[in-house]
């Protein structure tokens, strides 16, 4: 009996030692050596605005005469992912807003839970701070699709229509991510595996990697600022096992115009998930109409891989009726 107790204590000691090693390794990492403050932002350039939760990096082209289009990015790649879409919509007379979600890009990394409510609150506060009072049209990519859907359900009076590009509906079940859920160990793994994988992740994001040749160069800068890994990891933990189908159904019941764009070769979120939305919209008695645009030879970023095709689809859907 004593020997069993000694083995148990020994095992507990080993686990504690391993956890201590992970904690020290995590605490002494140097890849987030910079603090995102005013002096850093002056060197980075761009526009910033303070809202109650922190400072937001944004770009707003307000010179057009069309409605305001708000572009909301996804899990890890910040607002530069909208570059071709932003430029196309701007050139076609729309007023266009893109911004970095908290924890990403050059927005603050506040101490949040990084749940949907946090992103909804950020978007709402940003519109207030920029004095955008009329209804907006929302375009959400991946996790951003879930954000704009939650936002529409919370503030239906503020939204005219939505375009969803490969939206997060159900978090894919990926057993290899389970260790990230473990305190301390998960933090260390996020440092040494998750973020480096995101840096090299172009092949999972697009059908043809040559369409995004500077993926790593563009993604790297935001990872140098303290708080990025924490935000990404917290988001991953909060999203695990989530199914937002009910939120999409609620949004469809509002009977606002909805567009759905999805790359047929998406490796990040399965193309087949589009049926969650299209099947619900086609139910007897359901008056929601979906402008569904499947994009062949495209991965998770169809707007980047096929900017002319997707840009044309967005303009057709978002342009106000004469």
pLDDT in tens, 264-303: 999 999 999 999 999 999 988 777 789 999 999 999 999 9
Measured CA to CA in angstroms, residue 300 lies from 65, 141, 195, 221, 226 at distances of 31, 9, 18, 22, 27
Question: If DSSP codes are grouped into helix, strand and coil, which group holds residue 147?
Answer: helix
Pairwise CA distance, residues 288 & 282, whole Å: 8
The confidence band for 7, taking pLDDT boundaries of 50, 70 and 90, is very low
Q: What pLDDT was estimated at residue 320?
A: 59
What percent of the chain has pLDDT above 90? 77
The confidence band for 25, taking pLDDT boundaries of 50, 70 and 90, is very low
Q: What pLDDT was estimated at residue 26?
A: 45
Question: If DSSP codes are grouped into helix, strand and coil, which group holds residue 70?
Answer: strand
Q: What pLDDT was estimated at residue 321?
A: 61
pTM above 0.75, yes or no: yes
* Tens-place pLDDT, residues 117-161: 999 999 999 999 999 999 999 999 999 999 999 999 999 999 999
Cβ count near 24 (within 10 Å): 11
Higher pLDDT, 141 or 199: 141
Residue 9 has pLDDT above 50, yes or no: no
Sort 199 into a burial class: Cβ within 10 Å, 0-12 / 13-18 / 19+: middle
Measured CA to CA in angstroms, residue 42 lies from 35, 54, 107, 252 at distances of 13, 17, 13, 42
Read off the pLDDT of each residue in 238-245 and give the average, rounded to a whole number.
Answer: 95
**Do the beta carbons of residue 199 and residue 219 sit within 8 Å?**
yes
Which phi and psi angles does 238 have, rounded to 5°?
-70, -30
Pairing of strands 54-61, 258-263: unpaired
Closest to 29 in 3D by CA, of 201, 199, 223: 223
Average model confidence (pLDDT) across the chain: 90
Q: What pLDDT was estimated at residue 66?
A: 85
Residues in the chain: 322
Q: What pLDDT was estimated at residue 169?
A: 98
């Amino acid at each position: 009996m004593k020997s069993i107790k000694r083995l148990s204590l020994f095992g507990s000691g080993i686990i504690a030692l391993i956890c201590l090693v992970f904690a020290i390794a995590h605490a002494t990492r140097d890849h987030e050596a910079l603090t995102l403050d005013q002096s850093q932002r002056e060197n980075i350039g761009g526009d910033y605005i303070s809202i109650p939760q922190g400072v937001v990096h944004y770009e707003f082209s307000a010179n057009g005469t069309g409605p305001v289009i708000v572009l909301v990015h996804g899990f890890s790649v910040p607002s530069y992912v909208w570059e071709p879409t932003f430029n196309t919509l701007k050139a076609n007379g729309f007023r266009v807003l893109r911004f970095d979600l908290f924890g990403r890009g050059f927005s603050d990394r506040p101490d949040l839970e990084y749940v949907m409510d946090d992103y909804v609150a950020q978007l709402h506060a940003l519109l207030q701070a920029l004095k955008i009072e009329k209804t907006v049209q929302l375009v959400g990519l991946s996790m951003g699709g879930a954000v704009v859907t939650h936002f529409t359900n919370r503030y239906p009076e503020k939204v005219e229509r939505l375009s969803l590009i490969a939206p997060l509906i159900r978090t894919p079940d990926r057993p290899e991510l389970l260790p990230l859920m473990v305190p301390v160990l998960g933090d260390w793994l996020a440092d040494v595996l998750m973020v480096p994988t995101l840096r090299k992740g172009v092949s999972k994001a697009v059908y043809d990697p040559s369409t995004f040749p500077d993926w790593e160069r563009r993604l790297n800068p935001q990872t140098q600022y303290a708080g990025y890994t924490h935000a990404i990891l917290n988001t991953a933990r909060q999203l695990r096992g989530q199914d937002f189908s009910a939120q999409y159904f609620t949004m469809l019941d509002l009977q606002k115009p909805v567009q759905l764009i999805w790359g047929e070769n998406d490796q990040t979120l399965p193309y087949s998930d589009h049926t969650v939305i299209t099947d619900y919209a086609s139910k007897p008695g359901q008056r929601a109409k979906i402008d569904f645009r499947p994009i062949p030879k495209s991965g998770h970023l169809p707007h980047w891989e096929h900017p002319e095709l997707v840009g044309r689809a967005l303009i057709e859907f978002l342009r106000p009726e004469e």
